[in-house]
Amino acid sequence: MTEHYYSKKPQVQSNPQQWRYTLLGHSFLFETDSGVFSKGEVDFGSRLLIETFEMPDMDGAVLDVGCGYGPIGLAIAKQYPDRTVFMMDINERAVELAKKNAEMNGIQNVRIYESDGVYIDKGVKVAAVLTNPPIRAGKETVFKIYDGAFHHLSDGGELWVVIQKKQGAPSTQKYLEEKFRSVEVVEKKKGYWIIKAEK
Ligand SMILES: C[S@@+](CC[C@H](N)C(=O)[O-])C[C@H]1O[C@@H](n2cnc3c(N)ncnc32)[C@H](O)[C@@H]1O
């Protein structure tokens, strides 16, 4: 059976690699591994999301759902040191890498753990959720992540999604329009859309 990057427990032989990458003007050292989404550099869509994102004008934590080895959450945590960034992924190897990458880059304002979809304590107020969703895991999983984001966002909080047009950006836009107060495609580049949905 082919193994996907969204396995809970990757069986594929570990083959860690380290490389440097600059995000928002900060230089990061990242470790990635087989069995975890990455191609030896930050995914184009993730980078576009990081560079397009604007923090909503409200207090509260930030969530990176499906964090992988951590580029989105860690870049936001570095850029906004006063915010707590919760990062979660179903893939335990990804979670271990994200923790290691936080440590290697001296980033402490993060909480990183395994979860299926969005999972945070009830008492936490969330200003923003960012996700490069696991398209290959199927629509049901992706829409469950949007539902979880909606549930945990404060009023006025924002969900930011990067998704390719050919991988379902229009259906994501439609789904979000049914739930959120306003939905806007704020950027389109090389077939990738950045969709912002305000609760
Ligand atoms: C497209 S990748 C993005 C990874 C990372 N954010 C990046 O930019 O490289 C999607 C991620 O979602 C994770 N994922 C898949 N199903 C999930 C679920 N049910 N709950 C949480 N994360 C999930 C995958 O393991 C994968 O790491």
* ipTM value: 0.99
Provide residues with CB under 6 Å of ligand 1.
Answer: 5-6, 37-38, 43, 46, 65-68, 71-72, 88-91, 94, 115-117, 132, 134, 137, 141
**By alpha-carbon position, which residue is closest to atom 13 of ligand 1?**
66
Mutate to test the pocket of ligand 1, among 12, 37, 51, 145 (most ligand atoms within 8 A of CB): 37
Q: Is 74 helix (H, G, I), strand (E, B) or coil?
A: helix
Q: Is 184 helix (H, G, I), strand (E, B) or coil?
A: strand
pLDDT of 1 higher than 70: no
Whether the CB-CB separation of 33 and 7 falls below 8 Å is answered with no
Number of neighbours of residue 131 by Cβ within 10 angstroms: 24
> How does pLDDT run across 51-110, given as a tens digit for each residue?
999 999 999 999 999 999 999 999 999 999 999 999 999 999 999 999 999 999 999 999
Whether the CB-CB separation of 19 and 40 falls below 8 Å is answered with yes
Q: Which atom of ligand 1 is nearest to the CA of 116?
A: 20
**By alpha-carbon position, which residue is closest to atom 7 of ligand 1?**
68
> How does pLDDT run across 61-78, given as a tens digit for each residue?
999 999 999 999 999 999
